[in-house]
Structure 1
Amino acid sequence: MDIRDVTSDDLDAVLDLRQRSFGLVPAAERERWRQAALPALAEGRYLGMFDGPRLVATSRLRPFTQWWHGKPQPLAGVAAVTVSPEDRGKGVGGRLMQATVERAVAFGDAVSALYPATTPLYRSAGYEHAGAQHRVTLPAEALRTIPPSGRVELRRMGPGDAAEVVSVLRRAHGAARASGPVSWDERTWALWLGREDDFLYLAPDGYVVYRWAGPDIEVDNLVAESEETARALWSLVGSASSMAEHVTANVAPDDPVLWLLRERSTEHIKQVRWMFRVLDVAAAVERRGYPAAVAGEAVVEVTDRLRAGNTGRWRLEFSGGAGAATPLGDSGESGAVLSINGLSALYAGIPAATLRRGGLMSGHERYDELLDTVFAAKPYMLDYF
């Protein structure tokens, strides 16, 4: 079997494999799927494993921006990982993921994330559970009672507003010192903003994308930089309460809407877990944001069976909201010992005590408190991919 770039001639086979893995794509959506896939083909972001002419497996790399402590960096979003039913259990997925990691590194990405259908495959490729998409269900009436404060100019938006949405996300996630959320590129946002069944509104410092989901409302994205805009957008969604009983929304773990509600007691929250991987230790540490008030140094020892350049002892230095990782030799001070899975989870804010008790960290504990402080995060995503 060989791995090569998928071409437009392979799209029928890709769609067949996708449907065998994830379920049927409605006929009305197939052309939209093809159009969305074409740029990925041209950029070498769709990989296929072939047994002669037969397509056996696929993976796709989506170009995202991801924020960590409010600082954006490129992210390789791994999606559309499929293996033909008759070829499962033969090591195909492992080979494909190794090639996918290598391709992500070739694109210059230092970190990667995915939503797993199964944990063992991705854990064997160095990914570890890090965060979740938090889906909360609220009474629509509760949102309607959020009173707007001041006057916020809202207007309907469409594909031509893609650049403005990206700009809003950059400002809002940066100001909130958010960790984990992603943004599609402008080209993809233009596709999403062209969906006919969605309702889209834009403010100077926020936006909302929502739709009817049967008798209720589903909020795909609602991002606001200010209290006034958050009130205006949530109240707008709640205005459907004369017809809708519930609103299901993708939110941050500590989303302001949960504090804007007049009443709050029992909440129904579904977590869709995602996994994360550090691809390049030095670049990932340098590109991440950190608490500006914290300074210090730590030594960690990392093992990465797929990326030999990550294996070894590293000195991590933090100061003024910036970080750096410098490779060390074999001698000298010892510190925490982690697989790349453990380092990836640490990077995403999973506490050292959890990692030690979960078998992902060992070695000396002298730097644990500093590592907890600099990497502290509540990682989440609003988007599923």
Structure 2
Amino acid sequence: MGSQFDYTQIRNSQDEQTMATLLSQCFGGTSELAQSYLNRLGKDNFRLLCQGEEIFGSLGIYQMGQWYGGRRVPMAGISAVGIAPEHRGKGVADQLMRQVILELHQLKVPISTLYPATQVLYRKVGYEQAGSYCHWELPLAGLKLPGGDLPIHSVTPNNDEAFQDIYTRKAQANNGNLDRHPALWEQIINPVEKQTIYAYLIGEKTQPEGYVIFTQNQDSGKFVLALRDWVVLTERATQRFWSFIAAHRSQITHVRWRGGLLEPSLLLLPEQTAKIIDLEYWMIRIIDVPKALSMRGYPPTLNAQLHLEVTDDLLQTNNGKFCLTISQGEAEVTPGGKGNFQIDIRGLNALYSGFLTAHQLELTGQLNATPESLATATMIFSGSNPWMSDFF
């Protein structure tokens, strides 16, 4: 089937116009919004599946990073996978995804991440669930909290440099958090929609301990404070953040934000009133097994060895036995070994991110291992539950 199509970048202005139309049809919105999206991500970061001048489908690639075990792993985020309606059901999306995976493998990208509209398609090419993306909502009625003496300062929202260092310090401590692509920062601080964005630094101006960026919107009878991004690095910043949010309660009825299944800062609130109103799982695919395993972080005091035997139906170089040796948190991957931890690529994805433990994966039939290697894998891939607050 691959010989029927050309896999290529945007070739000319006609391709660009056709893509903008396709994106607006597949994902809603106007052609102008689609064109803005093309410009933000960069036209070189889109791929097409074509026959001559006819475009069958397209996708975008965010070249960025993702944090695992305190280490940044280079990652390709796949977005906006769209197939022309008249060509759906013919295997076009499958072929498009196979081609981009092969390209990423040639580029030696360790991992790829995406948000699935349908899991069936992406599981066929080796992706698996790997982390959470939740929408939280908290009613503000009656919420009153002491704020302490930490100052909070209004700042101009359209300069992400003020927030990047604070964000990175938080992100590297949380599995799955992104080293954001510039387009994602632009989306936070300068959205396409005509909204007023408010931004505040928490703490001293010269040494802030957090920040919050938000809008205020009417939604279905609720007056909502919508957090576009927020970070707190200390206990007192967390306390000040929630007291600042609570101070809006005379007009704002609810606050909403995006995050993981667990939100530790909610322990400071007097009651369990915050609720998850929507939940999605994102997916990951290991593109290069040795590189992905060696670049990830591990518990710093751990010394262990895991003898993997990996099965990957698409990328043959991922097949075979690998010995993962951890010494004081540093990883080395060598070919060979005993192969007493047998796992397919999808199972390895979920284990790698920390989404599921080896014992949990054994119940799904995606691995076969000795009791000793199961226990070892559980220690090696321990850490915080993976999540993202960014959608792409």
TM-score of the pair, normalised by structure 2: 0.88
Which of 22, 28, 34 is the equivalent residue of 2:27?
22
Counterparts in 2 of 1:31 and 1:128: CA distance versus 1, 3 Å: closer
Q: Judge conservation of contact 1:137–1:249 (CA < 8 Å) in 2.
A: yes
Code of the aligned partner of 1:35: N
The one-letter code sitting in structure 2 at the alignment partner of 1:360 is: Q
Q: C-alpha displacement at 1:191, in angstroms?
A: 5.4
1:147 is matched with 146
Q: Give CA deviations for 1:107-130 in whole Å, capped at 9, x if unaligned.
A: 442111100000111111110011
1:353 aligns with 2:359: yes
- 1:384, CA displacement in angstroms? 0.8
Between 187-196 and 59-68, the greater mean CA deviation after superposition: 187-196
Q: Does 1:380 align with 2:360?
A: no
Between the aligned partners of 1:372 and 1:243, the Cα distance in structure 2 is 48
**Partners of 1:326 and 1:147 in 2: how far apart?**
54
1:286 maps to: 294
CA distance in 2, matches of 1:226, 1:26: 43
Partner deviation per Cα, 1:149-200 (whole Å, 9 max, x = no partner): 332342313333x2342222222233xx310111323465245323453222
Tell me, yes or no, if structure 1 residue 5 matches structure 2 residue 5: no
**Aligned mate of 1:299, from 307, 310, 315:** 307
1:94 aligns to what SS in structure 2?
helix
Please provide the CA RMSD for this pair. Answer: 2.1
1:325 to partner: Cα distance: 1.7
Quick check: 1:221 aligned with 2:221?
Answer: no
Deviation at 1:95, TM superposition (A): 1.1
For the 8 Å contact 2:139–2:273, the answer to whether it is kept is no
- Helix, strand or coil at the partner of 1:189: helix
Distance, in Å, in 2 between the alignment partners of 1:135 and 1:223 is 16
Partner SS state of residue 366, structure 1: helix
> Relative to 1, partners in 2 of residues 1:347 and 1:294: Cα closer, same or farther, differing over 3 Å?
same
Equivalent pairs, count: 373
CA distance in 2, matches of 1:151, 1:242: 22
State how far apart, in whole Å, the 1-side matches of 2:283 and 2:367 are: 17
Deviation at 1:228, TM superposition (A): 2.0
Distance 1:49 1:290, change over 3 A: same
Q: Post-superposition shift, 1:257?
A: 2.3
* 1:366 positional shift: 2.7
Give the residue type in structure 2 aligned to 1:88: R
The one of 169, 172, 192 aligned to 2:188? 192
The alpha-carbon distance between structure 1 residues 7 and 240, as it changes in their structure 2 partners (threshold 3 A), is farther
Aligned to 1:368: 374
CA spacing shift, 1:334–1:74, aligned 2, 3 Å: closer
Does the residue aligned with 1:105 lie in a helix, a strand or coil? helix
Note the 1:320-335 alignment, pairs <5 A: 320-328=328-336, 333-335=338-340
- Distance across 2 between alignment mates of 1:125 and 1:305: 8
* CA–CA distance in structure 2, aligned partners of residues 141 and 274 of structure 1: 33
In structure 2, stretches of 5+ residues that fail to align are 203-207
Q: Which shifted more, 249-258 or 64-73?
A: 249-258
Q: Provide the rounded CA distance (Å) in 2 between the counterparts of 1:165 and 1:109.
A: 27
Change (3 A) 1:242 1:266: closer
Query: Deviation per CA, 1:9-65, whole angstroms, max 9, x where unpaired?
Result: 1222112111222222375x355334314x2x2xx3210011221111001111222
Aligned to 1:35: 39
Residue identity matched to 1:33? Y
CA positional deviation for 1:302: 0.5
Task: Map 1:202-351 to 2 at 5 A.
Answer: 202-203=201-202, 204-214=208-218, 215-264=223-272, 267-328=275-336, 333-349=338-354, 350-351=356-357
- Decide whether aligned partners of structure 1 residues 321 and 149 sit closer, same or farther in structure 2, where only a CA change above 3 A counts: farther
